[in-house]
Amino acid sequence: MFEKLNKVEKIIFDTCSIILVLFYSYSAVLQPAATQYHRGIYVVLTYVLVFLIYQSKSRIMRVIDYVLMMLSIVSIGYWILNFEAINYRTGAETQLDMVMAVIGVLIGIELARRVVGTVFVILGTLLLLYGVYGDYMPDLISHAGDTFPELCISIFYKSDGIFGIMANVLATYVLLFVIFGAFLEKCGAEKFFIDWPLAAVGHKTGGPGKVSVIASGLFGSISGSAIANTVSTGAFTIPMMKKAGFKPHVAGGIEPAASIGGMFMPPIMGAGGFIMAELTGLPYSKIMLVAIFPAIMYFYSVYLMVHFYAKKNNIVGAKSGQSAMEILKKEWFYALPLIVITIFMLSGYSPAYSAILGIVTCLVISWFRKDTRIDLKRFVEASRAGTESSLKIGAVVGVIGIIIGVLTYSGLMLTIADIVIELAGGRLFLTILLIALVSLVLGMGVPVTAAYLITAVVAVPALTHLGVNEIAAHMIVYWLSQDSNITPPVCIAAFAGATIAKANMWKTAFSAFKFAKFLYLGAFLFGYVPGFTLNGSTMDIVKAFALIIIGTYGYSWILSGIWMPHFKKSSA
């Protein structure tokens, strides 16, 4: 999309990108706690860049785009500059306060429409109508209601609205990690993340499929998007799987099934881990420790399914020109940015500070080889790529603020939690199934991180009411929020894999669903096995881990059909 901009617009975009990188890098080192300046500058630059890059086609509408940019700057700038005064006069806002709030809310909806589509517009509009006309609703979900301007004031100025959890997490952590991912790719690490698994397991039974699983785990933890992971690593691994003998729809299904695992894998876990830390009040290092074994088990499950499928169909990969040890000796330093981030976060440093050290490490190792050196030009390119990647999630800040703001204002989140509990009859099994259904429906129209945040607000209270500990409840919701990537009928990541594989989309989607089965099993393990989230004695945790490892191997073997009479022994 950047290439479609004219020369002046490209300069504006690159300038904003560099401002984002430098300002938030500076802030992460000297002032890690997000202030109104951090949140406001992030939101206003995101708004401007979205209107710039998702521009209208006609010249007249293009003028309106620039008007909307100016209104974004004015309304959000007003919030930044008058932050303390507005908080002081809460409940007695001026006419100007009201006008700026209405402008800010409406622009947030338009922004989401351009980037995500009409689903968010419908959802945001319905919530606004519910907020205004709550007293006309059925008794079960009714509330006092308010005028539209007063509702906008609540959404725009209060801490659970547009500048609430989502904006805070994006401005404090997520933006820097998205930029880190762009710098890691620019320094040449992505090639190492594919070459090393290829040399390690590429020649074994089902080798190309196993390469896909390992590469997706390494790269997906950083990319923050299952779709981006599918497209980037899949462009290489899917053709390789087809060449080795995997059916096109199977090759296209393995890659997205593996790619969503990157959202669970520390140290980065997409954006969800940071939102989880914000919602639970736990340090991110604790979230990482809880997440690592479930993430490994997810990849272990997909890996086993690939292995048994390949063994059943006698699929063996080709040997690489170099050994895994040779590649590791030559290119081990590409793992340093991830190691640095992990060590510093586990040592108690803030995620933002750790991300800056990761970016600096990328800059240093890029100079180890002439063709990967990040000079000024490549620095701008990496900043641009990271900023562009952050826009899709940043563009939904306004509508997320509307949804969370109205849910909080009306008390609907507690009502929904009660409804879920009542529908499930107090049974945890049915409650998790209902949450999976809600996540699937919600994920059809919104990014999975947004789906997690919205679902968590209403589902976590229902789960904790049934005795699930808070972090396990969040993990259930977070894992299930990924289901729309690979579960029909939407399954965008699976459709991306099908496009690369040139396979039937529905066959690819059901194949991805089959290989990603641990996504659903994991949600129940979080609910029923306390040791899965490190809750309990050391012996309880060890027993839980051992049983889950054995059980995963067993059902992967059964589901693969390898035990059936028609199985032919592999010659590998």
pLDDT at 58 over 60: yes
**HSE-up of residue 373 (Cα within 13 Å, Cβ side):** 7
The pLDDT value recorded for residue 568 is 47
* Average of per-residue pLDDT across 143-148: 89
Same domain, 245 and 193: yes
Please indicate, yes or no, if residue 18 is contained in any of the structural domains.
no
Same domain, 357 and 427: no
Same domain, 444 and 518: yes
Same domain, 324 and 461: no
* Average of per-residue pLDDT across 373-399: 88
Same domain, 516 and 551: yes
Q: How many C-beta atoms surround the C-beta of residue 332 within 10 A?
A: 12
The pLDDT value recorded for residue 445 is 57
Please indicate, yes or no, if residue 327 is contained in any of the structural domains.
yes
d(CA 290, CA 294): 8
Same domain, 279 and 220: yes
Q: Give 383's contacts (C-beta < 8 A, 6+ positions apart).
A: 14, 17, 18, 20, 21, 179, 182
pLDDT at 538 over 80: yes
3-state secondary structure of 467: coil
d(CA 143, CA 412): 9
DSSP letter for each residue of 166-181: HHHHIIIIIHHHHHHH
- Lowest mean pLDDT across 116-130, 280-294, 380-394, 406-420: 406-420
- Lowest mean pLDDT across 132-141, 167-176, 369-378: 167-176
Contact predicate 451/443, CB 8 Å: yes
Listed residue (337, 297, 210) closest to 475, CA to CA: 297
Examine the fold and report which residue of 364, 394, 424 is the final residue of a domain before the chain moves on. Answer: 394
* Average of per-residue pLDDT across 65-90: 92
Percentage of residues of the chain with pLDDT beyond 90:
34
Same domain, 244 and 201: yes
* Average of per-residue pLDDT across 508-520: 90
The pLDDT value recorded for residue 572 is 40
The pLDDT value recorded for residue 570 is 43
The pLDDT value recorded for residue 563 is 56
More confident residue, 279 or 419: 279
Same domain, 382 and 416: no
- Lowest mean pLDDT across 11-15, 164-168, 333-337: 164-168
Listed residue (339, 272, 269) closest to 298, CA to CA: 269
pLDDT digits (tens, 9 = 90+) for 348-376: 888 888 889 999 999 999 999 888 899 99
Please indicate, yes or no, if residue 107 is contained in any of the structural domains.
no
More confident residue, 212 or 566: 212
Domain count, the chain: 2
Q: Give 88's contacts (C-beta < 8 A, 6+ positions apart).
A: none
23-26, Cβ contacts within 8 angstroms, sequence gap of 24 or more: 24/171, 24/175, 24/176, 24/352, 25/176, 25/356, 25/359
pLDDT digits (tens, 9 = 90+) for 439-463: 877 766 567 777 888 888 888 988 9
More confident residue, 288 or 565: 288
Residue 267's pLDDT band (cuts 50, 70, 90): confident
The pLDDT value recorded for residue 302 is 93
Average pLDDT, the chain: 86
Tokens at residue 275, please?
């939102």
372-381, Cβ contacts within 8 angstroms, sequence gap of 24 or more: 372/186, 372/187, 372/188, 374/183, 374/186, 374/187, 378/186, 380/14, 380/17, 380/18, 381/186
Examine the fold and report which residue of 363, 394, 425 is the final residue of a domain before the chain moves on. Answer: 394
The pLDDT value recorded for residue 562 is 62
The pLDDT value recorded for residue 115 is 83
The pLDDT value recorded for residue 491 is 75
Contact predicate 256/230, CB 8 Å: yes
The pLDDT value recorded for residue 246 is 92
Tokens at residue 340, please?
């640095």
Q: Give 438's contacts (C-beta < 8 A, 6+ positions apart).
A: 455, 459
Examine the fold and report which residue of 394, 421, 449 is the final residue of a domain before the chain moves on. Answer: 394
pLDDT digits (tens, 9 = 90+) for 483-507: 878 877 667 788 888 989 999 888 9
The pLDDT value recorded for residue 76 is 94
The pLDDT value recorded for residue 410 is 85
Please indicate, yes or no, if residue 178 is contained in any of the structural domains.
yes
Same domain, 363 and 425: no
The pLDDT value recorded for residue 103 is 95
pLDDT at 78 over 90: yes
The pLDDT value recorded for residue 235 is 84
- Lowest mean pLDDT across 181-185, 221-225, 402-406: 221-225
Please indicate, yes or no, if residue 23 is contained in any of the structural domains.
no
Please indicate, yes or no, if residue 132 is contained in any of the structural domains.
no
Same domain, 318 and 360: yes
pLDDT at 401 over 70: yes
The pLDDT value recorded for residue 147 is 92
pLDDT digits (tens, 9 = 90+) for 548-561: 999 999 888 887 76
Sort 148 into a burial class: Cβ within 10 Å, 0-12 / 13-18 / 19+: middle
Please indicate, yes or no, if residue 418 is contained in any of the structural domains.
yes
The pLDDT value recorded for residue 569 is 47
Residue 227's pLDDT band (cuts 50, 70, 90): confident
- Lowest mean pLDDT across 175-189, 216-230, 426-440: 216-230
The pLDDT value recorded for residue 224 is 62
- Lowest mean pLDDT across 218-222, 323-327, 422-426, 433-437: 218-222
Please indicate, yes or no, if residue 142 is contained in any of the structural domains.
no
The owner of tokens 């698994």 is 197
The pLDDT value recorded for residue 188 is 86
State the residue range of the domain holding 343.
166-394
Same domain, 458 and 333: no
Percentage of residues of the chain with pLDDT beyond 70:
95
* Average of per-residue pLDDT across 454-475: 91
Same domain, 361 and 432: no
- Residue 316 pairs in a beta bridge with 205
pLDDT at 149 over 80: yes
- Lowest mean pLDDT across 58-67, 249-258, 374-383, 489-498: 489-498
